[in-house]
Each structure stands twice: as C-alpha cells, then as structure tokens.
Amino acid sequence: NKLISVQHLVKEYNHGTVKALNDCNLDIAQGEVVAIIGPSGSGKSTLLRSLNLLEEPTGGQIFFDGVDLADKSVDINLHRQKMGMVFQHFNLFPHKTVLQNITMAPLALKKKTPEEAQKQAMELLERIGLADKAGEYPNMLSGGQKQRIAIVRALAMDPEVMLFDEPTSALDPEMVGEVLDLMRSLAKEGMTMAVVTHEMGFAREVADRVVFMAEGKILEEGSPAELFDSP
Ligand code: ADP
Ligand code: ADP
C-alpha cells in the first residue's frame, strides 16, 4: 500500500555545486500523514516539489502507485492534478472572487461542469465556514481565511495526495490554529498528506510518521512518540 516511494533521489542545482537532495528515501502509504521537519536548506521544499514534478530529479526515482514518474507513459499534467499543493504564500488570484478561485482549475481542465464546480466550491466553503465570502476578493480576507481557501481550492481538484509546504509559516500566530484545524480534519478523513512544518505540536499530534531531514536526506524517521519522546 505504498502510494509514494522516493528512492535514492538526488537533486543538484548550479551544475552540481548545490545538492538539495542527496540520496533521499521516503515511502508514504495511502492515507498516511507524514510530517517533514528539518533545518532551513535541508531539501524539504525540493522534495515536495519533486513529488509534484515541479523539479526534475538529477538521479534516483519516484514511484507513484507503483509507476516510475520518469516513465514515458506518465502524463505530467495528470500526475500534478492528483497532487494538491499548498504553499506558505497562498497564491490566490487577486482579480478573481473566492468562488472563482476555487472553480477555476476544475473548469479550465474540464474536470467538472460549471454546475458541478460551483456546487462543490460552495460545499467546500461551507465546510470552512466561509460560504458568505464566496463573492469577495482575496484582499478582503485575513491570512488564515486565505490559506484555508487555498487548501479547499486544491481540494476542488479531488487530489489523491495533499502536499503542504510550511502552510502556516507566513500567518499571524492567531490564525495558525484555524489552518491546522482544517488540516487535522483532512487527516482524519484519510487524506494522504506530506506536510513540511515547524509546528511540532501538529506533527506530534496529527502525523502518523515524522521524518527529519538534513543535508538533502532523511536522517531519522519514526512515530511522533519515537522521535519526540526521549527515552
Ligand atoms: P528547505 O525547504 O529545507 O529550506 P530547499 O529544498 O528549499 O530546503 O533547498 C535545499 C537547498 O537547495 C538549499 O541549499 C537551497 O538554497 C538550494 N536550492 C533550492 N532551490 C534551488 C534553485 N532553484 N536553485 C539553486 N539552489 C536551490
Ligand atoms: P522555501 O521557503 O520553500 O524553502 P526558498 O525560499 O528556499 O523556499 O526558495 C524559494 C524559491 O527560490 C524556490 O523556487 C527555489 O527553487 C528557489 N531557490 C531557493 N534557493 C535558491 C538558490 N540558492 N538559487 C536559486 N534559486 C533558489
């Protein structure tokens, strides 16, 4: 039941002078929540971007559902649609309403009819208690609201996996909780998630497994108890 298997992944930049990933190995099972922690520059973002095919590996392999993503038969756009990604900065489209932000990708990719997309977007907004904001523009919203909308926008594509890259790092402290609550509820529903975070409370409480990265590889991994509770 390995959904994702990263094997000996290497990613070099600047003609090999920077090794962002250096023999990185990681398996993620269906429904598993993996928290990825580690110092700045250790390769966490590069790993997530590689899973989403936003980076081309220098070496090693990534398997998704048993298929090597480097395989010629893999449709990169189709793969990306399976991977919902949420960044530190929300990247909402400022000139589109909240509703349009959520329906845009499913409509552009003809994944849903306008009626279906609209219905789902309203259900997602209800879920996060922001249905009354459907017609507003992002600049009217708080950081926490924007990030929750960025998360449901990713969910509107019905992804198989959600990737989070420091989703709460740019938020004022009082808004972190509402974003973590939404992520916790996704985890409870069985969403497969990889979460780069500095929120150790979240990692301890929600993650099935915590991996610690340094210098482009995973140095330690285990259950939150194994990693956080000293013997
Ligand atoms: P983290 O997310 O853990 O902070 P990153 O994956 O962002 O780490 O970066 C890992 C290393 O790779 C860092 O040394 C970073 O400067 C370098 N790096 C990341 N992206 C690029 C890039 N596009 N070009 C050159 N170096 C990069
Ligand atoms: P994060 O906060 O997610 O680790 P960074 O601030 O490291 O992100 O990187 C932001 C962007 O800049 C990424 O697209 C990354 O590829 C690029 N980048 C990071 N480090 C370098 C670098 N040393 N040279 C060129 N681009 C870089």
- The ligand whose atoms approach the alpha carbon of 39 most closely is 1
Q: List strand residue ranges (DSSP E) for 30-143, in order.
A: 33-37, 59-64, 67-68, 83-86
* Overall average pLDDT of the 156-179 stretch: 96
CA–CA gap between residue 143 and residue 149 (Å, rounded): 10
Instruction: Identify which of 12, 13, 213 to mutate to test ligand 2's pocket (most ligand atoms within 8 A of the CB).
Output: 13
Interval between CA 46 and ligand 1 midpoint (Å):
6
Task: Give 91's pLDDT tier (boundaries 50, 70, 90).
Answer: confident
Interval between CA 108 and ligand 1 midpoint (Å):
31
* Overall average pLDDT of the 190-196 stretch: 98
| 221 contacts: CB under 8 Å, gap ≥ 6 | 26, 209, 210, 211, 212, 227
What pLDDT was estimated at residue 128? 97
Residue 230 in this model has a pLDDT that exceeds 90: no
CA–CA gap between residue 61 and residue 71 (Å, rounded): 10
Residue 231 in this model has a pLDDT that exceeds 90: no
Residue 27 in this model has a pLDDT that exceeds 80: yes
First CA to last CA across the chain, in angstroms?
31
Question: Across the chain, what does the average pLDDT equal?
Answer: 96
What pLDDT was estimated at residue 17? 94
Closest residue by CA, ligand 1 atom 27 = 13
**Which of residues 35 and 230 earns the better pLDDT score?**
35
Say what the pTM is: 0.92
Task: Give 143's pLDDT tier (boundaries 50, 70, 90).
Answer: very high
Residue 188 in this model has a pLDDT that exceeds 80: yes
The DSSP bridge partners found for residue 85 are: 163
Report in angstroms the alpha-carbon separations of 110 from 52, 107, 113, 116, 171: 20, 5, 7, 11, 33
What pLDDT was estimated at residue 110? 92
Interval between CA 73 and ligand 1 midpoint (Å):
29
Whether the CB of 93 sits within 6 Å of ligand 1: no
Report which residue type is found at 76: I
CA–CA gap between residue 221 and residue 216 (Å, rounded): 14
